[in-house]
Chain A
Amino acid sequence: MKEKITGAEALMRSLEAEGVDVLFGYPGGAIMPTYDALYDHRKTLHHILVRHEQGAAHAAQGYARVSGRVGVVIATSGPGAMNTITGIADAMIDSTPMVVICGQVGAAMLGTDAFQEVDVIGVTQPITKWAFQIRKAEDVAWAVSRAFYIAKSGRPGPVVLDFAKNAQTGLVEYEPAKVDFIRSYRPVPVPTDETIREAADLINKAERPLVLVGQGVELGDAREELRQFIEKADMPAGCTLLGLSALPSDHPLNVGMLGMHGNLAPNVMTNRCDLLIAVGMRFDDRVTGNLDTYAKQAKVIHFDIDPSEINKNVSVDVAVVGDCKATLARVTALMKEQRHTAWIEGFRPYWDKEREMVIERAIHPTEGPLLMGEVVRAVSDATQKRAIMVTDVGQNQMFGCRYFQYTQGRSVVTSGGCGTMGFGLPAAIGATFGAPERTVCLFVGDGGLQMTIQELGTIMEQKCPVKIILLNNNFLGNVRQWQYLFFNKRYSFTPMLNPDYEGICTAYGIPSRTVVDRKDLAGAIKEMLDTPGAFLLQVAVKEEDNVLPMTPPGANVDEMMLEIK
């Protein structure tokens, strides 16, 4: 007779079978049998004790985004599970593979309003790829394998396993399970040869093509295929916020960042091109602005793995639904070599204008208080464009994404679709585990840092080498900018009284330094990078600085403000 083990032990063996090596979690009543089993597996399953379950979810996201592997979260029932919700929603909209395992009351007590019982499946169903309640130990192996398969295949996303206490303690003859097929789920559609030919024909005929590069290129591990695709037909390419490191910043065909705070040239040229080629991006409103005037002159090709993204916001002429690693290569094979020199030259005047009116002022100011943009560029240069940039949300994020530069893929970790303040610090912790060989730089504001500041405790305990650059302007800066622009300068609850951050760092044993003068910046960055382990560099930046250029919400994509009068 086979050995019988508990459901919790079966979970551990299933996680090991999936190749999991890091877990982010926080124990509690309903998940205690699982934590008891984990105690015997702590050599293979490195558990990171966070300080709040939201931190676990964001850390798992950071881990997944830089490594391409599935981030794993463990939390208890009720409040533990609910605290992960923000991270789950964030992972859903940003297509991040994640498995959240949370405790649940015993099956016999389900629905009785038992202690720490919350209808986790009901709550998480709309924000997950799959949510499943494990009610008996026999289901553990199958559910875990199915969860990992769903989380990482096709368009990745979060999965929740709601693990009833009786299923954790119940005994089962463990049989490993391997789910790699679900008949109702087709993760990677394959487009027909005709579709591929139609796409190639449009590209071959185009005189003014523009490629929009999204995170799908990173998720599909298709950076090399993308490079060959754009180089063969000499097509300029703009990147979305999450797609920034899918193409090296200094690639000659990289024409910059798209969107509300992106670069002027690609946004203007979106409404001049004759063919728009979207690759692994979803035409978010922060990219398109007013849809009624968005690229109406152009034919549109949309490469995406998710059929429900096609024609959702922008109607397309050819939809290439599939894995872009394969589809880009297939289309490239049918493409003619082309040169679009004059078209690409046309981007230059807009770049010159933006450089003169915005960029130089942001990254090379000579007087006045320090600016966020110059800090970001200085850190980027000091890390030879090889670091991973994690951002929080707000002005720190926009300046970070505008002025940090990349040479490697999977180098941007930021909360795009959800815009979750408090994402940065825990995501950076996760990134240090996902890419231990790389430098992880976090840009965070004084608002966002305080939303998850308790994770400094995790950094202390785990000795996570996070380089925290706190861009402190004593304001909730992005909201303040909008209040300035659209709410008649009424700064309703955006000024903020700040604590002594260096004092906090001292309490956590994290080295820190504050910079106020421009002349001290370079030295302080060097000190931060030379100090082993974590470091917090607080930079006192201009209080009322604005992110520019800017497409006001709902405005046309080519109507960017370069200055605020």
Chain B
Amino acid sequence: MDQNKTTSVNTPCPREGMGKGSAQCGDCDKCGRCDMQYKGETLYTMLIYSENFAGILNQITAVFTRRQVNIESLNVCASSTPGVHKYTITCYCTEEMAKMLTKQMEKKIDVLQAHYFTDDEIFILEACLIKVNTPMILENKDVSRIVRKHGARIVEVNPTYSIIEKKGMTEDILSLFQELNALGVVLQFVRSGRIAVTKSTTERLDKYLEEMERLRDGENR
């Protein structure tokens, strides 16, 4: 493996936390440390809206499974529209695949809309919690320097462990984690699924729902 390539990459592998070289790592060629060939894939964020019925998450994830695409992160919650759930899913794939996946998700009866976005089309937020060993961070001045450098917050301190919280982009979070991890102070690390809103000035879901309301009225007339 080309070591130069490793050091020249600015973006840390989003799967670093899973342990590089693990079976799941290396579909992306981001870090150059894995054996997989570059597949021309981009990280897409899919925003999916569905009715709030049981079992839809299963149907949505099954679309990814069938097309052999790994889900990188997933967040599900109620949306701003009553009764509508929002799914934020990221995955590496080609644009053709992203199109196909969103169409196949929209085909599910109770899915309202599914769209895919690149990072420049959305505002993104992720968060992480890092549990570290308190005696070790007291001994190591670098820890507080790293925490301040990354704009992270320490939200809990007790004699045994401390908890660091950080919000931001994937890269910022992973970079914080990697620096702390290199010091050997990390006890636990967890990163949230990505959440995102579009930068677009029109709200596609609202437009869709309005249009469907018109269709319903038209049919009843």
Contacts and interface: CB of A to CB of B under 8 A. Distances in A.
Given A121-B55, A125-B55, A182 B104 contact: no
A183 B107 CA distance: 13
Interface stretch (A303-311, A423-431, A452-460): A303-311
A487 interface: no
A245 to B, nearest CB: 27
A126 B219 contact: no
Interface stretch (B108-116, B128-136, B174-182): B108-116
A125 B104 contact: no
A130 B59 CA distance: 10
Nearest to B59: A125
B110 A184 contact: yes
Contacts of A126: 59, 62, 66
B99 interface: yes
A308 B103 contact: yes
Contacts of B111: 184
A186 B212 CA distance: 9
Interface string A156-186: 0000000000000000000000001111111
Nearest to B104: A308
A311 B99 contact: yes
Interface in B15-29: none
B100 to A, nearest CB: 7
A308 B63 CA distance: 12
B209 A183 contact: yes
Interface string A107-128: 0000000000000011001100
Nearest to A131: B55
Given A307-B103, A311-B99, A182 B109 contact: yes
Given A126-B62, A183-B209, A306 B109 contact: no
A191 to B, nearest CB: 15
B106 interface: yes
Contact of A306 (B62, B96, B107, B212): B107
A523 to B, nearest CB: 52
A386 to B, nearest CB: 37
B216 A184 contact: no
B58 interface: yes
Contacts of A122: 58
Contact of B112 (A150, A180, A183, A307): A183
Contact of A312 (B100, B109, B110, B209): B100
A183 B58 contact: no
A130 B109 contact: yes
Contacts of A182: 109-110
B165 interface: no
Contacts of A150: 109
Contacts of A130: 109-110
Given A306-B107, A308-B106, A308-B107, A184 B100 contact: no
Contacts of B72: none
A374 B110 CA distance: 50
B90 interface: no
* Majority secondary structure of chain B interface residues (helix, strand, loop or mixed): helix
A129 B109 contact: yes
B215 to A, nearest CB: 8
Interface string A309-321: 0111000000000
Contact of B51 (A181, A184, A312): A184
* Max chain A C-beta neighbours (<10 A), residue from B66, B109, B212, B215: B109
Nearest to A306: B107
Contacts of B106: 307-308
Contacts of A307: 103, 106-107
B219 A184 contact: no
Contacts of B215: 181, 186
A129 B107 CA distance: 9
A246 to B, nearest CB: 24
A186 B213 CA distance: 12
A131 B51 CA distance: 15
Interface residues of A, number: 21
Nearest to B212: A183
A182 B62 CA distance: 22
Contacts of A308: 100, 103-104, 106-107
Nearest to B219: A181
A179 to B, nearest CB: 11
B76 to A, nearest CB: 16
A307 B55 CA distance: 23
Interface in A180-196: 180-186
A184 B58 contact: no
Contacts of A131: 55
A512 B25 CA distance: 64
B170 interface: no
B45 interface: no
Contacts of B66: 126
Interface in A266-321: 306-308, 310-312
Contacts of B209: 183
Contacts of A184: 50-51, 109-112
Contact of B58 (A125, A180, A186): A125
A131 B212 CA distance: 23
B99 to A, nearest CB: 7
A312 B101 CA distance: 10
B58 A181 contact: no
Nearest to B84: A184
Contact of A180 (B59, B99, B110, B219): B219
Contacts of B212: 183, 186
Given A125-B58, A125-B62, A126-B62, A185 B109 contact: yes
Interface string B82-101: 00000000000000100110
Give the residue among B59, B96, B99, B107 with the most A Cβ atoms within 10 A: B107
Nearest to B208: A183
Contacts of A125: 55, 58-59, 62
Nearest to B101: A308
Nearest to B50: A184
A131 B58 CA distance: 12
A125 B54 CA distance: 12
Contacts of B104: 308
Contacts of B99: 311
A310 B106 CA distance: 13
Given A182-B110, A307-B103, A308-B107, 11 more contacts: A121-B55, A129-B109, A150-B109, A181-B216, A181-B219, A184-B51, A184-B111, A186-B212, A306-B107, A311-B99, A311-B100
Shortest beta-carbon contacts, A-B, top 5 = A308-B103, A184-B112, A183-B212, A308-B107, A130-B109
28 contacts: A122-B58, A125-B59, A125-B62, A126-B59, A126-B62, A130-B109, A130-B110, A131-B55, A180-B219, A181-B215, A182-B110, A183-B112, A183-B212, A183-B213, A184-B51, A184-B109, A184-B110, A184-B111, A185-B110, A186-B212, A186-B215, A307-B103, A307-B107, A308-B100, A308-B106, A311-B96, A311-B99, A311-B100
